[in-house]
């Protein structure tokens, strides 16, 4: 079904309005979203996406509706997985919590622009070369295999090639100046880490798009559906980050679920390519009569795999341990490095104590693994040592700050 130009125009205008509203009313003034705020707006954006899908079903038919929902669910799942890497990038750049919204919104806008270009490029390739389905299928199968390779948070870094070049070629400050992208340091204008982290997230998301675009083309070749499913999966991602960032490390089986989904869609694409085959060295350039996988079955498989992996992750003791360790690490870093008021700092430390108590109650096999993580144990010891200094008796505020600086200098040496 051809989509009229005015429908495209209204759709793009609606997306721009939502992004503008997000910036003006939530991101422009730096603040830390509450759980209620993040939950409310996440639900609203998901509701908008679902209502749009109902509209597609009503005006475009059941087939288009099913294709939209299959594409949306797949892209949403992939975008949640991308939050793992966003969390690592934001943590490695030590972005202040109140300014993380601006970084994430930039990543969403950049991703939407980049993916729109790739969507139209992919559509042009599909219309011109039937063998592209083989290529897309192979990409997804290889990606699925790569997802199964274990990789810890410590092995990843937000300091990618683009960021390293920016640091080397451009004057860069080591300190944030609010949410400004540029600041003046020693009389000259320099970049702030805020701009670098935006570059890191934007550059990383281009790589994500190389996987997600072939995946959704495996579910529908309607460019309008590909674009809208992708756009609505990205809208609300900022709010979702603050809603589930405490649970991200607990979803230990999500990667395996996504690997299964990408492999499934990859096989679906290869079967479709065989059915439409015109490559000379395959069956003498004639179509191969194979069974194709319908979109309805694809939607059922995708929802089923995601449900099983998420439920299994939430019930897993290993996932609980991993989530608690990640939370303790984040709170220790926040306590040591964040510039926060004393009352909030004490709250962070109490959360850290509660997480350490949870770790002590875990089975011995998990506690043993935690004790073997030297970096984590050193981080926790530093947090306790600094708290002892700050809470020392008969110390003035200035004395405590001086003692903390001296202890940090000793640790650095």
Question: pLDDT category, 13, cuts 50, 70, 90?
Answer: very high
Write down the domain spans for the chain: 5-153+196-311, 320-412
Q: What is the mean pLDDT of residues 128-136?
A: 86
Query: What is residue 289's DSSP assignment?
Result: -
**What SS3 class is residue 191?**
strand
Backbone angles phi, psi at 87, to 5 degrees: -60, -40
Maximum mean pLDDT: which of 11-15, 244-248, 350-354: 11-15
Maximum mean pLDDT: which of 108-122, 149-163, 297-311: 297-311
What is the rounded distance in angstroms from the CA atom of residue 385 to the CA atom of residue 53? 54
Beta strands, E only, 231-351: none
The residue that leads in pLDDT, 244 or 162, is 244
What is the rounded distance in angstroms from the CA atom of residue 404 to the CA atom of residue 413? 14
Buried b or exposed e, range 236-264, using 16+ CB within 10 angstroms: bbbbbbbbbbeebbbbbbbbbbbbbbbbb
Cα–Cα distances in angstroms (integers) from residue 39 to residues 9, 21, 302, 310, in the given order: 30, 17, 24, 18
What is the rounded distance in angstroms from the CA atom of residue 285 to the CA atom of residue 294? 24
pLDDT for the residue numbered 155: 43
What tokens were used for 348? 């962070």
What is the rounded distance in angstroms from the CA atom of residue 278 to the CA atom of residue 357? 63
What is the rounded distance in angstroms from the CA atom of residue 203 to the CA atom of residue 86? 11
Instruction: Kindly tell me if the per-residue pLDDT of 128 is higher than 60.
Output: yes
Backbone angles phi, psi at 394, to 5 degrees: 60, 35
pLDDT for the residue numbered 14: 94
**What are 321-336's pLDDT values in tens digits?**
877 887 788 778 777 7
pLDDT for the residue numbered 152: 47
Average per-residue pLDDT in the chain? 81
The answer to whether the predicted template modeling score (pTM) of the entire model surpasses 0.85 is no
The residue that leads in pLDDT, 308 or 345, is 308
pLDDT for the residue numbered 54: 96
Q: What is the mean pLDDT of residues 349-375?
A: 82
The residue that leads in pLDDT, 371 or 226, is 226
What tokens were used for 374? 């030297």
Beta carbons of 15 and 49 less than 8 angstroms apart: no
Backbone angles phi, psi at 322, to 5 degrees: -65, -40
Beta carbons of 74 and 49 less than 8 angstroms apart: no
């Amino acid at each position: 079904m051809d989509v009229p130009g005015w429908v495209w125009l209204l759709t793009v205008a609606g997306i721009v309005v939502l992004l503008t509203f997000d910036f003006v009313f939530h991101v422009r003034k730096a603040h830390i979203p509450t759980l209620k705020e993040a939950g409310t707006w996440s639900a609203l954006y998901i509701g908008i996406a679902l209502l749009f899908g109902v509209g597609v079903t009503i005006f475009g038919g059941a087939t288009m509706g099913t294709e939209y929902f299959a594409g949306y669910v797949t892209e949403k799942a992939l975008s949640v997985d991308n939050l793992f890497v966003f969390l690592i990038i934001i943590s490695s750049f030590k972005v202040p919590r109140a300014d993380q919204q601006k970084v994430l919104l930039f990543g969403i806008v950049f991703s939407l622009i980049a993916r729109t270009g790739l969507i139209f490029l992919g559509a042009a390739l599909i219309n011109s070369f039937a063998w592209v389905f083989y290529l897309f299928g192979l990409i997804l199968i290889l990606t699925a295999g790569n997802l199964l390779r274990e990789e810890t948070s410590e092995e990843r870094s937000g300091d990618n090639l683009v960021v390293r070049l920016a640091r080397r070629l451009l004057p860069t400050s080591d300190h944030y100046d609010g949410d400004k992208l540029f600041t003046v340091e020693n009389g000259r204008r320099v970049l702030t880490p805020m701009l670098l982290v935006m570059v890191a997230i934007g550059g990383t998301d281009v790589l994500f798009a190389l996987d997600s675009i072939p995946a959704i083309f495996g579910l529908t070749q309607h460019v309008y559906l590909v674009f809208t499913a992708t756009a609505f999966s990205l809208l609300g991602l900022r709010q979702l980050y603050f809603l589930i960032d405490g649970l991200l490390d607990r979803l230990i089986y999500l990667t395996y679920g996504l690997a299964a989904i990408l492999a499934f869609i990859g096989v679906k694409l290869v079967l479709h390519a065989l059915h439409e085959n015109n490559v000379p060295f395959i069956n003498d350039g004639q179509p191969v009569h194979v069974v194709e996988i319908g979109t309805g079955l694809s939607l059922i498989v995708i929802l089923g795999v995601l449900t099983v992996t998420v439920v299994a992750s939430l019930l897993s003791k290993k996932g609980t341990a991993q989530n608690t360790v990640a939370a303790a690490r984040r709170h220790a870093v926040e306590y040591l490095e964040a510039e926060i008021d004393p009352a909030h700092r004490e709250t962070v430390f109490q959360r850290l104590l509660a997480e350490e108590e949870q770790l002590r109650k875990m089975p011995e096999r998990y506690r043993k693994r935690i004790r073997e993580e030297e970096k984590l144990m050193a981080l926790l010891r530093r947090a306790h040592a600094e708290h002892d200094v700050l809470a020392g008796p008969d110390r003035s505020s200035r004395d405590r700050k001086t003692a903390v600086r001296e202890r940090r200098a000793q640790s650095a040496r």
